[in-house]
Amino acid sequence: MDTDVIVIGGGLAGLCAAIEAASAGAEVTLLEKLAECGGSSVLSGGLLAFAGTDMQQAAGIEDNETLLYDDLRRAGAQQNDDALVRTYVAHQMQAYAWLKGLGVQFNSVELAAGHSQPRAHSVRSQAFMALMEQRARDTGRVNIVFNAQAERLLRAHEGARIEGVTARINGSTQTLRARRGVVLAAGGFSRNAEMINLFVPHQARCVVYCGAGCDGDGVRMAWALGAGLRDVVHIKGTFGFHPDTGKTPGRDWSRHSVYRGAILVNRQGQRYVDESKSYKLLGDAVLAQPGAMSFQIFDEGVMETSSDIAPLFKFREALALGRLLTEPTLEALARRIGVDAVALAATIERYNGFVRSGRDDDFGRTGLSSGYGKLVELKRGPWYAYPSTSGLIATYCGITVDTESRVTNVFGEIIPGLYAAGEMTGGFHGVAYMTGSSLGKCVIFGRIAGRNAAASDK
Ligand SMILES: Cc1cc2nc3c(=O)[nH]c(=O)nc-3n(C[C@H](O)[C@H](O)[C@H](O)COP(=O)(O)OP(=O)(O)OC[C@H]3O[C@@H](n4cnc5c(N)ncnc54)[C@H](O)[C@@H]3O)c2cc1C
């Protein structure tokens, strides 16, 4: 089982690292603890942030590196690592061209959260990840081992090079040596309740929706060797997830009818927030409600804005899936969701009054989303309720790395022979993630990690 480079994790970052290391001539063993590759990457919305592409130019979108840099820093509230952001910006066009060269097909360019220009390049995540796995195999130098859970990183003593890992492979513990380097690409830790409780206990009430292997193994393995940590206090759920998220198969658990005019009420039938705020802030607000629960309530007028394309606005689909509840009258809907009917009716009446007067005296809502869009009165049955809470889909933080994807310890010193990329690394996002920048970061820093591990001293 000795090899040149060991990659831990078969998500996007790990596959990119493996392809690059193999292209540089290294023999690669990729350990994936589940029975298939994909991780959170395959569940993702498939949006990658690139600026200045041919697709943008063809669509008349004027975007460039400066705007991308500014948006990334702004999303991170300037608390992200400037050097990492600059590295992303400097490599992103090469990464886009590299993906296209591998045969990745981008379908459209979308405007998404945190973007000052439409720059979210969309792929179909399942086809994308299948292609990336195939490209890793096509190198002829990548051996993908499934049901192989890396457990510990090996080094002779503190300060010595990382020389391999121990891994549980099909039920037995084995030692694997890496002649050149080890790349950690084991994803985030949304599923590790202990770690979430340690860093952000107030987010522990979130439902979780991400790859089945997102237990934080990679972060803990590096942490055990003294790796630094960054951004862990900024972990935040996303509003709009159904409380039954993940209980049955299917990807579409989240809906945002609030941004089409719905109101948000708690179990007492009362509004508690300006519904036009960002879904991250709504996520925090719902976690503070009894049972961390609320309902997006809307009428037929809002239902008529249902989309067949944008997942977050597919209200009719949610109805067909039995997740969106409906009744002909508001009173019947209140009964169905266990909310006091008189209180709910009073809330709707008061809200409609605010819409008519143009002033929300309770929470200051002035638009559909972040102040934009005209508010609508809710008055036409049938009525709808989407049970909603906050969902943790990614942690976007973790161990410290430098611009060469080398893991650094709590003193800022490089841990020799150890590289990391993807969601498990900290510093790049700062306070918040800009849409498309996590998959983008997997490609850019995964490639750097793979290349450097392959070139590492023996
Ligand atoms: C629903 C959803 C939508 C999203 N949409 C977007 C989007 O549109 N754009 C965007 O930029 N980001 C998005 N994200 C975030 C993004 O998908 C992830 O941050 C990113 O895919 C993480 O990639 P990764 O390679 O670091 O980790 P993953 O893709 O999670 O891969 C990590 C792999 O490591 C394996 N592993 C873990 N521990 C071990 C171990 N001990 N040994 C061996 N293998 C191990 C796991 O099983 C997994 O396969 C979304 C996330 C979700 C859940």
Task: Give the pLDDT confidence of 135-172 residue by residue, as tens digits.
Answer: 999 999 999 999 999 999 999 999 999 999 999 998 99
CA–centroid distance, 48 to ligand 1, in Å, is 13
Are 196 and 300 members of one domain? Answer: no
Q: Judge whether 206 lies within some domain.
A: no
Are 83 and 228 members of one domain? Answer: yes
Domain boundary among 392, 410, 439: 392
Q: Judge whether 449 lies within some domain.
A: yes
pLDDT of residue 310: 79
CA–centroid distance, 273 to ligand 1, in Å, is 31
CA–centroid distance, 118 to ligand 1, in Å, is 23
pLDDT of residue 150: 98
pLDDT averaged over every residue in the chain? 96
Distances (CA, A) of 350 to 256, 336, 363, 373: 22, 22, 12, 20
CA–centroid distance, 105 to ligand 1, in Å, is 20
Are 295 and 216 members of one domain? Answer: no
Q: Which atom of ligand 1 is nearest to the CA of 421?
A: 26
pLDDT of residue 250: 75
Q: 12 CB under 6 A from ligand 1? A: yes
Please check the confidence at residue 324 and state whether its pLDDT lies above 70.
yes
pTM of the model: 0.94
- Say whether the peptide bond before residue 382 is cis (omega within 30 degrees of 0): yes
Please check the confidence at residue 217 and state whether its pLDDT lies above 90.
yes
Are 265 and 300 members of one domain? Answer: yes
Averaged pLDDT, 265-282: 94
At residue 277, what are phi and psi to the nearest 5 degrees? -70, 165
Are 303 and 316 members of one domain? Answer: yes
Are 399 and 371 members of one domain? Answer: no
- Is the Cβ–Cβ distance between 316 and 240 less than 8 Å? no
Q: 43 CB under 6 A from ligand 1? A: yes
Instruction: List the structure tokens of 279.
Output: 């879904």
pLDDT of residue 211: 96
Are 244 and 373 members of one domain? Answer: yes
Are 264 and 382 members of one domain? Answer: yes
Q: Judge whether 207 lies within some domain.
A: no
pLDDT of residue 246: 85
Averaged pLDDT, 336-359: 98
Burial of 377 (0-12, 13-18, 19+ CB in 10 A): middle
Q: Which residue has the tokens 């040149």?
A: 4
271: containing domain: 238-392
Q: Higher-confidence residue: 111 or 261?
A: 261
Are 61 and 167 members of one domain? Answer: yes
Q: What is the CATH number of the domain that holds 313?
A: 3.90.700.10
Q: 26 CB under 6 A from ligand 1? A: no
Please check the confidence at residue 370 and state whether its pLDDT lies above 80.
no
**Number of domains within the chain:** 2
- Is the Cβ–Cβ distance between 261 and 375 less than 8 Å? yes
Q: What is the CATH number of the domain that holds 33?
A: 3.50.50.60
Q: 427 CB under 6 A from ligand 1? A: no
pLDDT in tens, 25-59: 999 999 999 999 999 999 998 999 999 999 999 99
Are 227 and 265 members of one domain? Answer: no
pLDDT of residue 247: 85
Averaged pLDDT, 79-93: 98
Q: Judge whether 205 lies within some domain.
A: no
pLDDT in tens, 411-422: 999 999 999 999
Q: Which atom of ligand 1 is nearest to the CA of 151?
A: 41
Q: 164 CB under 6 A from ligand 1? A: no
CA–centroid distance, 435 to ligand 1, in Å, is 14
Q: Judge whether 279 lies within some domain.
A: yes
Please check the confidence at residue 120 and state whether its pLDDT lies above 70.
yes
Instruction: List the structure tokens of 149.
Output: 């859970």
- pLDDT grade, residue 252 (50/70/90)? confident
Share of the chain above pLDDT 90, in %: 91
Q: Which atom of ligand 1 is nearest to the CA of 122?
A: 8
Residue nearest to ligand 1 atom 31, measured at CA: 11
pLDDT of residue 248: 80
Q: 217 CB under 6 A from ligand 1? A: yes
Q: Which of 182, 195, 438, 447 to mutate to test the pocket of ligand 1 (most atoms within 8 A of CB)?
A: 438
Please check the confidence at residue 343 and state whether its pLDDT lies above 60.
yes
Domain boundary among 392, 416, 444: 392
Domain boundary among 342, 377, 392: 392
- pLDDT grade, residue 111 (50/70/90)? confident
- pLDDT grade, residue 270 (50/70/90)? very high
Q: Which residues contact 359 (CB under 8 A, 6 or more apart)?
A: none
Q: 184 CB under 6 A from ligand 1? A: no
pLDDT of residue 458: 53
Segment among 19-23, 184-188, 290-294, 365-369 with least mean pLDDT? 365-369
Q: 451 CB under 6 A from ligand 1? A: no
Q: 150 CB under 6 A from ligand 1? A: yes
C-alpha 248: how far from its chain's center? 20
Are 307 and 380 members of one domain? Answer: yes
Are 384 and 425 members of one domain? Answer: no
Selection from 46, 56, 44 nearest residue 116 by Cα: 56
Q: Judge whether 372 lies within some domain.
A: yes
pLDDT of residue 157: 95
Q: 46 CB under 6 A from ligand 1? A: yes
